[in-house]
Structures are given as C-alpha cells and as structure tokens.
Amino acid sequence: MLLQRTLTALLLAPLAALVIILPPTWLFATIVGVVFAGGAWEWTRLCGLGSAIARGVYTGLVLVAFALLWFARLTPALWLALIALGVIWWVASLWWMRAYSFAASPNTENRILKLGTGLVLFIPAWVAIASIHGSPILGHWWTLLTLVIVWAADTGAYFSGRFLGRTKLAPRISPGKTWAGVYGALVAGTAIAVLGGWVLDVHGARLVGLAVLGMLTVAASIIGDLFESLMKRHAQIKDSGTLIPGHGGLLDRMDSVFAALPVFALGKLLLGL
C-alpha cells in the first residue's frame, strides 16, 4: 500500500503543480470547482443519499454556487465573510467530533444537516483557494505553497506516526492517528511554510507570522482529516471512493485541504502577504 500511495503521489504531484502555476485564475478556479464538485458527489454518499439523481442535483448546486460566487468576486466583503465562516466552522467541528455520535443515525433530519454541512466545507474552501490564486503578487505560488504545506504535513504525520506513534489522538474516530503524527505534521508543515515564505521574499516579523500561520494551517488540516473520518464512521465505510489508487476517493485526499484553505487564506490577508 505504501508503494502504491507513493507512486500515485509522484504521478499526481507534478500535474497538480502545473495546474496551479500555469493557468489564469479563472481557469484554475474552474478546474478546482470541478474537482471540489467531485468531492461533493462523494460527500452525498457519506450523508446517506442513495439516489443518483439526488446526488447529481446536490453536486450541480455546488457547481452553481461556485459560478455565482465567481461573478460576485468583485464584492470582496462577501468572499472575506465566507472565508471567515469556513474558519469558524472548522473550530465548531471540534464540538461535533467530541460528541462523536451526534447526527449519526441515518434519518432524514441528520441527512439534511450533513448535506448542509457539506456546503460549509466546499464553498469557503473554493473561495479561499480562488482568493489566494488571484492574489496580485505571486498568487499562483502562494497557492502552491498552501497545498505543499498540507501535503508535507500529511507526509510528516504518516512517517512519524508509523515509527514513533504510541499514544492515540482520537481512537474512536481514527484509530491509526497518533500524537506523534500530529507533532510530525506540525514540524514538516511549519518548516515548509518558513522555507516557502523565505523563497517568496517574506522576512522578519512577517516570516515569524507565516510560521505561526503554517502551524495553524496544519492544525486545521488535521481537524479536516478527523472530521471526514468521523463521517465515514457514521456511514460505516472505509473510503469515500476508489478514484485514486492507494488513496481512496477525492474526499480522502482533500479532507485536510478543505479545512486548511480558509485558515491560510484568512491568515495571509491578516499578515498582508
């Protein structure tokens, strides 16, 4: 499994980098919107929607929301409010994970709640990544740095958890995650944030601020990973899909990204980067 995961990552990473760096923001936002919509399709499965028509309608609504928000991008207050909403939601999700069985029963009310929650996952994350990419100064490269921080944190967590992990982080939600994995993620993600900031000509107090933001971004990515694990526990499935060999579905690869993006985007704005 490790070999398969590694080979898949080596194939996808250069492609992802090119998709981030080369296209103009309108095209990048469109591509990301389609990918996020794929995640929304998988999310409907976690919510318990069995009808392909209903799942398609939900996915289509997410795409329509992206399109409308793109045309509303000249209203920066709206985009900022949505990014802030994303940050607030991921903090609030800690309560849901602590409650564990909240909304676990497969009834209509819980299904609607989870479908609504999906909108708070996908929409602020899309607005955040489009906002970062559209930044007037090195926006494409800041976007790449954001995602590399998350990828590095995931790699650091995997290896430190595998070789040093003893104490479980949240055994009921995700038995494989350990506190050693958290520490490895924080070290790897923060190191990349500092290195990337230096390459992007960030120095002094703002580089220190970026290091702190890197840690917060990694922490958010861990929360996103745990929350999707909880939803899979509720749905009693191992992976959200089978699209990516060795990695599962789109949600399995992007759960941490959905949580990290609003945090990094808001922090970048506050730091004036």
pLDDT tens, position by position, 114-137: 999 999 999 999 999 999 999 999
pLDDT of residue 7: 62
Q: How many domains are contained in the chain? A: 1
Please say whether the beta carbons of 250 and 33 come within 8 A: no
Evaluated on CA atoms 47, 230, 220, 175, the torsion sign reads: negative
User: Can you name the residues that pair with 178 across neighbouring β-strands?
Assistant: 168
For residue 172, the 8-state DSSP code is T
SS3 category, 177: strand
Domain that holds residue 43: 2-271
SS3 category, 43: helix
Is beta strand 174-178 parallel, antiparallel or unpaired with respect to 168-170?
antiparallel
Question: Which residues have a Cβ under 8 Å from the Cβ of 68 and sit 6 or more positions away?
Answer: none
| CA-angle at 95, arms to 92 and 98, nearest 5° | 150
From first to last of its 273 residues, the chain has per-residue pLDDT tens of 555 566 666 677 788 889 999 999 999 999 999 999 999 999 999 998 888 999 999 999 999 999 999 999 878 899 999 999 999 999 999 999 999 889 888 899 999 999 999 999 999 999 999 999 999 999 999 999 999 999 999 888 888 888 887 889 888 898 888 999 999 999 999 999 999 999 999 999 999 999 999 999 999 999 999 999 999 999 888 776 655 555 567 888 888 999 999 999 999 999 998
Tell me the Cα Rg of the chain: 18
**Spatial separation of the C-alpha atoms in residues 182 and 71, rounded to whole Å:** 39
Q: Residue 22 class from Cβ within 10 Å (0-12 exposed, 13-18 middle, 19+ buried)?
A: exposed
Angle between helices 2-21 and 139-164 (to 10 degrees): 170
CA distances for 236 relative to 48, 114, 271, angstroms: 10, 15, 41
Task: Give the amino acid at 62.
Answer: V
